[in-house]
Structure 1
Amino acid sequence: MSQRLLSEFLGTFWLVFGGCGSAVLAAAFPELGVGFVGVAFAFGLTVLTMVYAVGPISGGHFNPAVTIGLWAGDRISFGIVIPYIVVQVAGAIAAAAVLYLVASGKPGFELGGFASNGYGELSPGHYPLLSCIVIESVLTFFFLFVILGATAPSAPAGFAGIAIGLALTLIHLISIPVTNTSVNPARSTGPALFAGMAHIQQLWMFWVAPFAGAIVAGVLSRYVYKPAR
C-alpha cells in the first residue's frame, strides 16, 4: 500500500505543480506563447505522463473525484478511497507550497488568484454559481466516463493514458474561462490555501460538483462497461 500511496502523492504533486505552474509562471509572460491553450495542454500532459509513470502501481488517479468515481463504478474497493484522497490532497498542497516558494522569488511578485478556482467574482469570466456547478459536474462526469471506458477490459491495452490526458486537455479548453477548471478537488484545495480566504470559502463547490459528476459516471458505467476490480 505504501508504494501506491507514494505514487498517488507524486502524481498529484506533478499535476498541480505542472498545470498550475504553467499558469502562474509561464503564462505570466505572453511573449513565451504559453497562454490559455498552453495551460490546458500542461494539465493534460501531467496526467498523461504520470499515468504511464506510476499508473501500473496505483492506478493513476491523482484526483479524489477519480477515486470516488472508480469506486462508484465498482472498479476499486472502498478500503483505498480515504487513504488515496488524503495523499492526493497532501500532494496538491505540497505542490502549491513549492510553486509559491518559486513564484514568490520573482521581483515584484503579486499572488493574485494563484491559479485557484472560483465562481462569481472569482470566476475568470465572472460566471455565476449555477453555471460553475453545471460545468464542473458535467465535465467531471465525462472525464470519469473516458477514464472508465479507456480502462475497461474491452479497451485496447496501453492507450488509456493518451485518452485520459487529451480528455483533461479538452476539459481545460472548455472551462478555464468559467471556473479556471477544477474537476479535481485536490487541485482546487492546494492553490486555494495560498490564494486566501475568499478562495477557501468557495472550495465546497469544487468538492461537491466533481464528486456528484464522478458518482453518476461511475454508477452509469456499471451498465455500459463490464466492472473489473
Structure 2
Amino acid sequence: MNKQVAEFIGTFTLVLFGCGSAVIAGADIGLMGISFAFGLALIGMAYGIGPVSGCHINPAVSLGMVAAGRMTLPGAISYIIAQVAGAIAAALVLWIIASGKADYDVATNGLGQNGWGLGYLGEYAIGAAFLFEVVATFLFMVVILGVTGAGGAPAIAGLAIGLTLAVIHLVGINITGVSVNPARSIGPALFAGGAAISQLWLFIVAPIIGAVAAGLVFKTGLLDSE
C-alpha cells in the first residue's frame, strides 16, 4: 500500500495548495501566483514521493502510463482510487478552512473548481475548453513520458514536469481553470456543486483522451530516444 498512500498524499497536496492558492490567496497572487502554486506543489511531491510511486497524482497520467506500456491496468486503477480519495479529502479540508472566513460562501466564491461558458472566468465555449484540455494534457504527458523514459533526465524530472504544469496554467486558467487531471477536478466539484458537477464529465474525458494519446505515441516508438 506504500504506493497508494504516496499517491493519496501527493494528490492531496496538489489540490490543497493548488486550489487553495486560488480560493484563499487568488486576489493577492493573481494568475501567475496560482499557476506556480500548482507547479511548485507538483515539483515538491515529485521529489518527495516520486521514489515511492512515481508521483502520478493524476488519473490521466496513470492511464497514459498504461497506454505507453509502463504500467498495468490493475495498478493504475489502484492509483486512481487513491488519487481521487486524496483530491476529495483535500477539497474537504480546503472547504473547512475557507469557511472559517465570515464572508466565504462556496456557491459564491467557489472552491477552485473547473468550468467553462457564461459566468466562468474567460467564458470560453465548450469546444475551446475540450480542445484545450485534450491538447494540454497530451503535451503534459509527452513531457512526463519523455523525461522519465530511458533517455530522460531523472534528476530534473520533477522540475521539468512541475514547470510544464505551471506554464499550462498560465495559458489555460482563463479557459477552464485548468484540469489536465480528473482527480483535481472531481474533489472541488463535489463541494462546489451546480455547474461544477454538470460540467465535470469534460474534465474526466478530455484529460484521459490527451494522456492516452500521448502514451500511444510513445508506445509506437515515434518519440523513442534511441
Where on the TM-score scale, by shorter chain, does this alignment land: which range?
over 0.9
| Match status 1:206 vs 2:209 | no
Gaps of 5+ in 2: none
Native 8 Å contact 1:69 1:211 kept in 2:
yes
Deviation at 1:124, TM superposition (A): 1.2
Identify the match of residue 122 of structure 2 among 113, 121, 125. Answer: 125
Determine what percentage of the aligned residue pairs are the same residue.
49
Native 8 Å contact 1:193 1:200 kept in 2:
yes
- In structure 2, what is the Cα distance between the partners aligned to 1:172 and 1:156? 24
Native 8 Å contact 2:15 2:87 kept in 1:
yes
**Counterpart AA for 1:202:** Q
Identify the match of residue 217 of structure 1 among 207, 214, 218. Answer: 214
Match of 1:190 in 2: 187
Match of 2:162 in 1: 165
Deviation at 1:75, TM superposition (A): 1.1
Native 8 Å contact 2:22 2:112 kept in 1:
yes
Match of 2:99 in 1: 104
**Counterpart AA for 1:8:** E
**Counterpart AA for 1:147:** I
Match of 1:3 in 2: 2
- In structure 1, what is the Cα distance between the partners aligned to 2:194 and 2:223? 42
Identify the match of residue 141 of structure 1 among 132, 138, 142. Answer: 138
Which 4+ runs in 1 deviate beyond 2 A? 224-227
Native 8 Å contact 1:122 1:199 kept in 2:
no
| Match status 1:114 vs 2:114 | no
| Match status 1:78 vs 2:69 | no
Deviation at 1:121, TM superposition (A): 2.3
Native 8 Å contact 1:117 1:181 kept in 2:
yes
Deviation at 1:119, TM superposition (A): 1.5
- In structure 2, what is the Cα distance between the partners aligned to 1:110 and 1:99? 12
Gaps of 5+ in 1: none
Q: RMSD over aligned Cα, in angstroms? A: 1.2
Deviation at 1:80, TM superposition (A): 0.6
Deviation at 1:122, TM superposition (A): 5.0
- In structure 1, what is the Cα distance between the partners aligned to 2:44 and 2:14? 10
Native 8 Å contact 2:23 2:110 kept in 1:
no
Native 8 Å contact 1:65 1:184 kept in 2:
yes
- In structure 2, what is the Cα distance between the partners aligned to 1:166 and 1:20? 17
- In structure 2, what is the Cα distance between the partners aligned to 1:91 and 1:122? 28
Deviation at 1:156, TM superposition (A): 2.2
